[in-house]
Chain A
């Protein structure tokens, strides 16, 4: 096993039912493709690994020998054109390093803006993970302009490009975003950059409950301001966090408007210490708790929060996009929690952290069954050897 990633050893039980046969750390595209070929020759399955913080989000892989390909050795910014607002990176570059490189030219990329700058860009894309600013910038799927990947047929492919629009051929990037490394090994990414807003200002009025904070958030959503974050948060306390970014005039004006709307909802006093807007699930799931990400529409979010009130310990409800991220204390069966969520209008659900006792039997995704045959066909088309994380994806694909 590689001596470079001793931090990973504790994570392997959450990836597979056995440790990897080997951990390799390629330093280039050619080396990465070579490792994929070698794994295929030896009949090994493959799991790409970045910072490791989201490895426990996908299902447990069982019954296969596997190779961990640690992408943190491929961590360079390869090309950056501030005038075109595009940047080409290796997947192991950390979000923090990427943002630092772009900030020098007064720009940023709208991914990995949260509290964990050590996450890799490849990992964020593989998880299609976005934090509090999803309402303003969308998901990593909306930032990815092009990519290269090594596939299990031994070929390297490249899709998309360096332009901000492109409709040449199927949009394979959409499939790879959120695929958790189960379609191929991403070896290069081209991302959209944006101008850094000159001012960013936040308002965090305290709220009596998460549902009340969501209701106030809805009032702000309907006021049609342009927040870069609109999250009801619950933890040590409860608050509504509203963030505006842009020119100083427009930010100051919006803060004033938001203050009025919040006051109209009876929320005037700033929270002394607002809870985290992006509560971070631990890399390694703890016992007795689970983390979920539930998607619905904004008008159903308050109901979702109320349905979970008895078991919520930490939560961020992103009002404008209808997403609830929450830590729940498991005092009742997970099936009961799921039933309540779907009865309250949840459209789909992912368990992003489950206790190990649940991971052997439970699919982390709740995807409509009718979509699974197509997803299996897509997996077979892009990963014909079924080498990339078999069983780790939705429906144990």
Chain B
């Protein structure tokens, strides 16, 4: 079935597979395997099914909610070696790849045709497209171009009984129940995606990238709300606060003003005509909301440098504190100024250090709480502040997660958003695919509460 070099059993070698980038919960795998094809992957799953052993799919472990954590032990099925681009059809705007193919590899394969793969999470040079499918990943440019679910038309899936099924196709629309749509975002709990057919997006002909510097977070967030309300659709609209700005300065000497309270990175793209007028409108809005300065990237290198800063903005917090928890709450965009103020108040009340770097345009907040887990009192305060922030997002009509997934991190917060009837329906859908409950157990949906279980 597998060669010896595709199987890890050494406890030291398996340490890296105990969690993903969400490190608070861990689980020890009994064995880690590296299949190289759909057939090998399905054979491992069949063996697990026959022996009643739980299994957990894993990409490159960049997930932020513990989706790849083997909570119940068993087999971790790594798709890292299933990393080939299988075909590119530029005229049909399609590319087929193995699920372990790195996100940015897909864009590189599409680049000679003037195309790219639109979902662009910050981890895009490391994360796999299979992981993106599992989490319904998005990124800064999904504000205009949509999330992974909008860019996947077909999947090959090893189902939890070890059979292999093709879902969807390279055609644009589903037929029958939209099982591709269901599997995208199912966090590897309905089966293991082994191959993916993605939609490619033509590269924009022209791009304008603006950096606006603000003296207050309030002014920056009001600017965001106003841009959206006026019907301008930038392809990206990102905000970073002063802790992030200073961490980036310490690490990379970007040249950002250290006394700024917020930066807005606004990108607009299009065919060319009319783009300058739209860019001018955004500049004016920034100025009307007291931006200290608004500058445009003068070259592709300058633009790439700004995006480098944005995408390193979370990772660089490692310089500020040993640990961080990145939240992923989602709120209606018009509530941004109010919610950011309330989040600041929560952080102050719990005496935790909190910074913000997030997709402002779609209301997807990423408050990062930075801490030292060796201090148990600080850890307790961090977890309390986290829960309060999640409750706030739900209270204003939002969601506990916009793109990181529920995983194990937010599993027990699901009842904040969903009734027991909603959760029971999700459990039944899970059981429809995985009646034995062996496929990535313990994720997304909490066990029924004691009072909800019939006597």
Q: Which residues of A line the B interface, CB within 8 A?
A: 81-86, 106-107, 128, 134, 138-139, 141-142, 151, 155-159, 161-175, 177-179, 183, 194-196, 218, 221-222, 224-226, 246-250, 252-254, 295-299, 321-323, 347-350, 365-368, 370-372, 374-375, 377-382, 384, 393-395
Tally B residues with Cβ within 8 Å of A: 88
Assess the A394–B274 pair: CB atoms within 8 A: no
Assess the A167–B404 pair: CB atoms within 8 A: yes
Residues 167 to 209 of chain B near chain A (Cβ within 8 Å): 167, 169-182, 184-186, 202, 205
Residues 199 to 232 of chain B near chain A (Cβ within 8 Å): 202, 205, 225, 228-229, 231-232
Which residue of B91, B94, B403, B422 is within 8 Å of A218 (Cβ)?
A: B91
Assess the A247–B273 pair: CB atoms within 8 A: yes
Q: Which of B34-42, B122-130, B308-316, B329-337 contacts A (4 or more CB under 8 A)?
A: B329-337
Contact status of A170 and B175, CB under 8 A, knowing A158-B419, A165-B138, A195-B231: no
Q: Nearest CB to that of B425 among chain A residues?
A: A157
Q: Which residues of B line the A interface, CB within 8 A?
A: 89, 91-94, 114, 135-136, 138, 142, 146-147, 149-150, 159, 165-167, 169-182, 184-186, 202, 205, 225, 228-229, 231-233, 270-275, 277-278, 330-334, 362-364, 397-406, 410, 414, 417-419, 421-426, 428-433, 444-445
Which residue of A164, A168, A172, A393 is within 8 Å of B363 (Cβ)?
A: A164
Considering the complex of A and B, which 7 residue pairs feature the smallest CB-CB distances, nearest first?
A174-B181, A195-B231, A377-B432, A249-B273, A83-B334, A381-B428, A247-B274
Could you say which residues of chain B place their CB within 8 Å of the CB of A250?
Answer: 270-275
Separation of A85 and B230 alpha carbons in the complex (Å): 10
Assess the B397–A162 pair: CB atoms within 8 A: yes
Could you say which residues of chain B place their CB within 8 Å of the CB of A138?
Answer: 146, 150
Assess the A347–B171 pair: CB atoms within 8 A: yes
Which residue of A221, A252, A371 is within 8 Å of B179 (Cβ)?
A: A371
Assess the A378–B273 pair: CB atoms within 8 A: no
Assess the A299–B176 pair: CB atoms within 8 A: no
Instruction: List 22 interface pairs A-B (beta carbons < 8 Å), by A numbering.
Output: A165-B330, A167-B136, A167-B185, A167-B406, A168-B401, A170-B182, A170-B186, A171-B182, A174-B181, A175-B177, A175-B181, A226-B270, A250-B271, A254-B271, A295-B175, A297-B94, A321-B172, A323-B172, A348-B175, A368-B166, A375-B176, A384-B428
Assess the A382–B398 pair: CB atoms within 8 A: no
Assess the B176–A367 pair: CB atoms within 8 A: yes
Closest Cβ of chain A: how far from B74's Cβ, in Å? 22
Assess the B175–A382 pair: CB atoms within 8 A: no
Separation of A175 and B182 alpha carbons in the complex (Å): 7
Assess the A156–B421 pair: CB atoms within 8 A: yes
Which residue of A83, A174, A221, A377 is within 8 Å of B228 (Cβ)?
A: A83
Assess the B176–A166 pair: CB atoms within 8 A: no
Closest Cβ of chain A: how far from B193's Cβ, in Å? 14
Could you say which residues of chain B place their CB within 8 Å of the CB of A178?
Answer: 174, 176-178
Assess the A171–B184 pair: CB atoms within 8 A: yes
Assess the A84–B333 pair: CB atoms within 8 A: yes
Could you say which residues of chain B place their CB within 8 Å of the CB of A151?
Answer: 421, 425
Assess the A374–B278 pair: CB atoms within 8 A: no
Closest Cβ of chain A: how far from B160's Cβ, in Å? 11
Could you say which residues of chain B place their CB within 8 Å of the CB of A158?
Answer: 418-419, 422
Assess the A163–B274 pair: CB atoms within 8 A: no
Q: Nearest CB to that of A252 among chain B residues?
A: B273
Could you say which residues of chain A place their CB within 8 Å of the CB of B362?
Answer: 163-165
Could you say which residues of chain B place their CB within 8 Å of the CB of A142?
Answer: 146, 150
Separation of A116 and B210 alpha carbons in the complex (Å): 42
Q: Nearest CB to that of B329 among chain A residues?
A: A163
Q: Nearest CB to that of A162 among chain B residues?
A: B397
Separation of A366 and B135 alpha carbons in the complex (Å): 30
Assess the B228–A85 pair: CB atoms within 8 A: yes
Contact status of A246 and B432, CB under 8 A, knowing A86-B332, A295-B173, A375-B179: no
Assess the A172–B429 pair: CB atoms within 8 A: yes
Separation of A71 and B249 alpha carbons in the complex (Å): 58
Which residue of A170, A370, A393 is within 8 Å of B429 (Cβ)?
A: A170
Separation of A172 and B178 alpha carbons in the complex (Å): 10
Which residue of B149, B167, B184, B410 is within 8 Å of A371 (Cβ)?
A: B167
Could you say which residues of chain B place their CB within 8 Å of the CB of A296?
Answer: 171
Could you say which residues of chain B place their CB within 8 Å of the CB of A86?
Answer: 332
Which residue of B150, B175, B181, B429 is within 8 Å of A367 (Cβ)?
A: B175
Assess the A365–B176 pair: CB atoms within 8 A: yes
Assess the B175–A225 pair: CB atoms within 8 A: no
Q: Nearest CB to that of A380 among chain B residues?
A: B432
Separation of A384 and B425 alpha carbons in the complex (Å): 10
Separation of A194 and B228 alpha carbons in the complex (Å): 10
Assess the A224–B202 pair: CB atoms within 8 A: yes
Assess the A81–B178 pair: CB atoms within 8 A: no
Which residue of B89, B173, B364, B417 is within 8 Å of A321 (Cβ)?
A: B173
Assess the B332–A134 pair: CB atoms within 8 A: no
Assess the B401–A167 pair: CB atoms within 8 A: yes
Separation of A142 and B172 alpha carbons in the complex (Å): 12
Assess the A83–B333 pair: CB atoms within 8 A: yes
Contact status of A378 and B177, CB under 8 A, knowing A163-B330, A167-B185: yes
